[in-house]
Amino acid sequence: MIRTIFEKELRLTLATSRFVACSLLLVTLMTASALVMLADWQRRLDLFRASSQEAERAAHAATAYVEVALRLERRPQLLSLIHQGVGDRFGRFVALAGKYDLPRLQGGMSESTLLESWIPLDFSHLVGIVLSLIALIFSYDLVNGDRASGTLQLTLASSLSRSRLLLGKYLGAMVSVTVPFMAATVLWLLIVLPQSDAEAGAGTWVRIGLALLLAVMYASIFIWLGLLLSALTDRPATSLILGLLVWTLVVLIYPILAVQVIEITKPVQRLAVERPGQDTLIRDPALRAHVEAAQWEVFRRALGQFHRAQVLMRLSPLSQYDFASAAVAGTDVDHFMTLLDAARREDQALRTWQEGKARLYPDRELSRMNVPLPLDLSGLPQTRKPLERLAEVAGRVLPDAALLIIFNLFLMICSLYAFQRYDVRL
CA–CA distances in Å: residue 23 to residues 133, 238, 335: 12, 24, 34
Length of the chain: 426
A 10 A CB-CB count for 259 gives 21
Identify whether 382 is part of a domain.
no
Alpha helices, DSSP H, located in 129-235: 132-137, 144-149, 151-156, 162-192, 202-232
The alpha carbon dihedral of 107, 108, 109, 110 has a sign of negative
What is 90-148 written as a DSSP string? S-SEEEE-GGGS--EEESS-TT--TT----S--HHHHIIIIIHHHHHHTTTTTTHHHHH
Identify whether 385 is part of a domain.
no
- Strands in 70-72's sheet, in edge-to-edge order, are 70-72, 93-96, 104-106
Q: Which pLDDT belongs to residue 209?
A: 92
Give CA–CA dist 39/153, Å, rounded: 54
Give CA–CA dist 130/60, Å, rounded: 51
Identify whether 373 is part of a domain.
no
Q: Which pLDDT belongs to residue 364?
A: 80
If residue 70 lies in a helix (H) or strand (E), which one and from where to where?
strand 70-72
Identify whether 425 is part of a domain.
no
- Which residues, at least 6 apart from 76, have a Cβ–Cβ distance to it below 8 Å? 41, 44, 45, 48
Q: Which pLDDT belongs to residue 197?
A: 55
Q: Do the beta carbons of residue 129 and residue 253 sit within 8 Å?
A: no
Identify whether 426 is part of a domain.
no
CA–CA distances in Å: residue 198 to residues 104, 209, 380: 29, 18, 28
Q: Which pLDDT belongs to residue 111?
A: 40
Phi and psi, residue 105, nearest 5°: -80, 130
- pLDDT digits over 365-394, tens only? 776 656 666 788 888 888 777 777 878 888
- pLDDT digits over 75-93, tens only? 888 888 888 887 666 777 8
Identify whether 178 is part of a domain.
yes
Identify whether 110 is part of a domain.
yes
For the chain, 426 residues long, the average pLDDT of each consecutive 10-residue run is: 83 88 92 87 85 82 82 82 78 81 68 41 89 94 88 81 91 94 93 70 84 96 96 93 96 90 75 51 68 74 83 93 92 83 87 88 73 77 77 89 97 94 78
127: amino acid identity, one letter: V
Q: Do the beta carbons of residue 424 and residue 145 sit within 8 Å?
A: no
- Of 56, 66, 69, nearest to 369 by C-alpha is 66
Give CA–CA dist 383/380, Å, rounded: 10
Identify whether 133 is part of a domain.
yes
CA–CA distances in Å: residue 407 to residues 122, 410, 423: 24, 5, 26
Using N-to-C axis directions, what is the helix angle for 285-313 and 333-360, rounded to 10°?
A: 170
> What percent helix, strand, coil does the chain show, rounded to 5?
70, 0, 30
What is 311-349 written as a DSSP string? HHHTTSHHHHHHHHHHHHHT-SHHHHHHHHHHHHHHHHH
Q: Do the beta carbons of residue 26 and residue 131 sit within 8 Å?
A: yes
412 CB-side CA count, 13 A: 17
Give me the number of domains the chain comprises: 1
Q: Which pLDDT belongs to residue 263?
A: 80
Range of the domain at 329: 2-86+95-367+393-420
135: amino acid identity, one letter: A
Per-residue b/e over 33-71, b at no fewer than 16 CB within 10 Å? Answer: bbeebbebbeebbebbeebeeebeeebeebbebbebbbb
Give CA–CA dist 217/174, Å, rounded: 10
- Which residues, at least 6 apart from 66, have a Cβ–Cβ distance to it below 8 Å? 100, 281, 365, 366
For the stretch 396-401, contacts whose Cβ atoms lie closer than 8 Å and that sit 24 or more positions apart, written own/partner, are 396/327, 396/332, 396/334, 396/335, 397/210, 397/214, 397/324, 397/327, 397/328, 400/314, 400/320, 400/321, 400/323, 400/324, 400/327, 401/214, 401/217, 401/324
Q: Which pLDDT belongs to residue 113?
A: 41
Beta bridge partners of 94: 72, 105
